[in-house]
Amino acid sequence: MDIHEWREKINLKIYASKLRVLKSFKILSLVVSIFALGVLVYYYGFQHSPQGEDILMGVIRLSFLFYVFHFLLKVFYDFSPIQFIKQHWFEAFMVVVLILDGFFYTFFNTLMIESIFRSFDMMALADVSEFFIQFYLFAIVAAELSQSGGFMPTIKLHPAFIFVLSFGLIILLGSLLLMMPEMSTGDVSFIDALFTSTSATCVTGLITLDTATMWTVKGHTILLILMKVGGINIILFGAFLTLLGRLGVGMKHHLVVEDFVNKESVFSSKGMLGRIVLVSILIELLGSILIFFQTTSSLTHMAFGQKLFFSLFHSVSAFNNAGFSTMSGGLYNDYLVNLQWFHITAGVLIIFGSLGFTTLFDLLDPRKIMERRKHSWKKPFLGSQVSLITAALLIFGGAFFFFIFEMDNTLQGKDSFSAIVASVFQSISLRTAGFNTVDLTQMSMPFIIVCLVLMFIGGASSSTAGGIKTSTFSVVVLSAYSTIRGKKNIELFKKRIPAGVVFRSHSIFMFALSGIILGIFLLSITESELLSSGQFRMMDLVYEEVSAFSTVGASTGVTPYLSNAGKVVVMISMYVGRLGTLTVAYALSRNIASTNYTYPKESFMVG
């Protein structure tokens, strides 16, 4: 009897118990994950005695042992174990890491992953390396459980509701984590922790506390996680909207979602979700490598590991258009302000993040590039062309105005190359990310107005950028142009834009404008004492509100001085601004029960 026959006999004998055992272990895995995550949060968030640390670490070790056993059990029950391992290669890799980690801990009394990070002086990642692994395993278990037994089709939650709820839960969890003693250098109020968590999750960048001095390396790591999770959440939902637009909105919600995430493996490279996660990580890693070599000579006061963490943090922050920095003053810090090549790298990362993955995949996919070379009539999607052209016009237009208005102001004393880089960078960053390499408090009033327009427009759809989106702005402008020219249809590149897209664009435009006006009105009430003190102008509050609603994160310095009521207004603006345009776009994309009727027309005067 060869091994294949022997294996087949075993499969036949254990088949009856397969579904029952695996389903039970999936549910048990979720319980173990939640408990282990709670233990990890308690372990890393508070100080403990040596005996307490040993007990907590023992619980964590047992949870990892359970995951190893669960994975081996799935391999054992599968009819094609080798094929199963190939399909779940990353999970298999994580199990191997856990086995090696357990081996090192048993025989050398040290954790392999921690030792590797500590050898590079990366204390921040060493401290939370186990947390990363546990969180990933929890995500795997939750995803597997959600796909078992037709779970997704039975729960008919509106995708927009899931998106809003997930963001709220992430923000609340982040604020609770930031309030733990080990995360900060001093006492942090709930309102400041909630504000920081909201800003990081909504990838905005506004801060009430100095990120560099108030948060420890563990706190910085929490911010890094919040930026990454928040950015991915935005990208995935935006890409999902784009997918709906291309496939047709008449499809059932759960069917589209299942196709989007790919039922076989949520984290496989086959589905769009897997591609987005994988490509985003690769771009951020490449960006961190470039940033490391571009800043290492200037950051001589940092250890090697600190430089690595600095590079990773700023790469993630730039690509996700978050605008957070571990240096006081951000990129305007004395150590960073004159590093032009670093600014260029950060600017490119911001552009990639603000274009959106549907555009990047459409423009840079090797297969599509080859197809367009073979067939000259094949063009990128209209949305991709609009995103790219509008972004280029806004970047160069903003840089031109910045150079003209700030030549004798914030650019004074800079050489030609530095002035051009600063102008382009400000135009890129102040539209989406919020980084700055000049003193924003000294900007001239003409460019502040230009900046308000850039922030309001924002980046592309299905990206981490905020604002009404470049596509919305383009459609509104084209609509006005067509009206002036007396055209009945809105046309672009020999294609007609559907009336539904035009209506949605105008709705989003008005939604954002109304939200900003309401926010400014509320801030004028809550910050009346701040205005009467003469320290800040009304324009500073206008700038703050537009920046918050557009999730840009640029500020003229008023954020730390806001009252608690003002902070709440800004938080709501960040939350609604981040979720609003996407959720409104989706809500307006749903099918109406019936449109097979028309009312009589009656005209009236407008304008």
From the CA atom positions of the chain, what is the Rg in Å?
26
Burial string for 542-579 (b: 16+ CB within 10 Å, else e) reads bbbbbbbbbbbbbbbebbeebeeebbbbbbbbbbbbbb
Q: pTM above the 0.75 mark?
A: yes
- pLDDT band, very low/low/confident/very high, at 481 (cuts 50, 70, 90): confident
List, for residues 63-77, the tens digit of each pLDDT value. 778 878 888 888 777
The more confidently predicted of residues 119 and 219 is: 219
- What's the whole-number mean pLDDT along residues 184-196? 91
Strand partners, 184: 215
The more confidently predicted of residues 572 and 55 is: 572
Question: What pLDDT, on the 0 to 100 scale, is given for residue 542?
Answer: 94
Q: In the predicted model, is pLDDT for residue 138 greater than 60?
A: no
Residue 360: both structure tokens together: 């990047």
Q: In the predicted model, is pLDDT for residue 221 greater than 50?
A: yes
Query: What values do phi and psi take at 444, rounded to 5?
Result: -70, 155
Q: What is the helix (H) or strand (E) element at residue 495, kind and residue range?
A: strand 495-497
List, for residues 268-291, the tens digit of each pLDDT value. 444 566 677 788 889 999 999 999
Amino acid at 330: G
Residue from 229, 227, 232, 582 nearest 434 by CA: 227
Top mean-pLDDT range of 88-102, 250-264, 292-306, 364-378: 292-306
- Tokens 């981040």 -> residue: 578
Length of the chain, please? 607
Question: What pLDDT, on the 0 to 100 scale, is given for residue 293?
Answer: 92
- Tokens 């308690």 -> residue: 42
Residue 454: both structure tokens together: 């850039």
Report CA torsion sign: 320, 387, 514, 576.
negative
CA distance 604 to 177: 57
The more confidently predicted of residues 103 and 334 is: 334
Supply the DSSP string of 70-107, one letter for each residue. HHHHHHHHSSSHHHHHHHTHHHHHHHHHHHHHHHHHHH
C-beta neighbour count of 283 within 10 angstroms: 18
Q: In the predicted model, is pLDDT for residue 349 greater than 50?
A: yes
Amino acid at 305: G
Instruction: Give one word for 356, left, alpha or beta, with left for phi > 0 and alpha for psi -120 to 50.
Output: left
Question: What pLDDT, on the 0 to 100 scale, is given for residue 274?
Answer: 67
Q: In the predicted model, is pLDDT for residue 584 greater than 70?
A: no
**Cβ atoms of 508 and 472 closer than 8 Å:** yes
The more confidently predicted of residues 293 and 89 is: 293
The more confidently predicted of residues 47 and 562 is: 562
Question: What pLDDT, on the 0 to 100 scale, is given for residue 384?
Answer: 81
Question: What pLDDT, on the 0 to 100 scale, is given for residue 120?
Answer: 61
The more confidently predicted of residues 466 and 146 is: 466
Supply the DSSP string of 275-344, one letter for each residue. HHHHHHHHHHHHHHHHHHHHHTTT-TTS-HHHHHHHHHHHHHHHHTT----SSTTGGGSTTTTT-HHHHH
Amino acid at 51: Q
Q: What angle do CA 560, 562, 196 make, to 5 degrees?
A: 55
**Cβ atoms of 138 and 33 closer than 8 Å:** yes
Q: In the predicted model, is pLDDT for residue 178 greater than 60?
A: yes
Question: What pLDDT, on the 0 to 100 scale, is given for residue 53?
Answer: 73
The set of long-range contacts for 284-289, using a CB threshold of 8 Å and a minimum separation of 24, is 284/312, 284/315, 284/316, 284/319, 284/349, 285/312, 285/315, 287/315, 287/318, 287/319, 287/345, 287/348, 287/349, 288/312, 288/314, 288/315, 288/316
Report CA torsion sign: 211, 217, 218, 222.
positive
CA distance 195 to 183: 15
Question: What pLDDT, on the 0 to 100 scale, is given for residue 581?
Answer: 58
Question: What pLDDT, on the 0 to 100 scale, is given for residue 46?
Answer: 77
Question: What pLDDT, on the 0 to 100 scale, is given for residue 4?
Answer: 62
CA distance 160 to 250: 16
CA distance 450 to 404: 12
Residue 545: both structure tokens together: 């509100």
Amino acid at 431: R
- pLDDT band, very low/low/confident/very high, at 249 (cuts 50, 70, 90): very low
- What's the whole-number mean pLDDT along residues 509-535? 91
- pLDDT band, very low/low/confident/very high, at 134 (cuts 50, 70, 90): low
List, for residues 364-381, the tens digit of each pLDDT value. 777 777 877 777 767 777
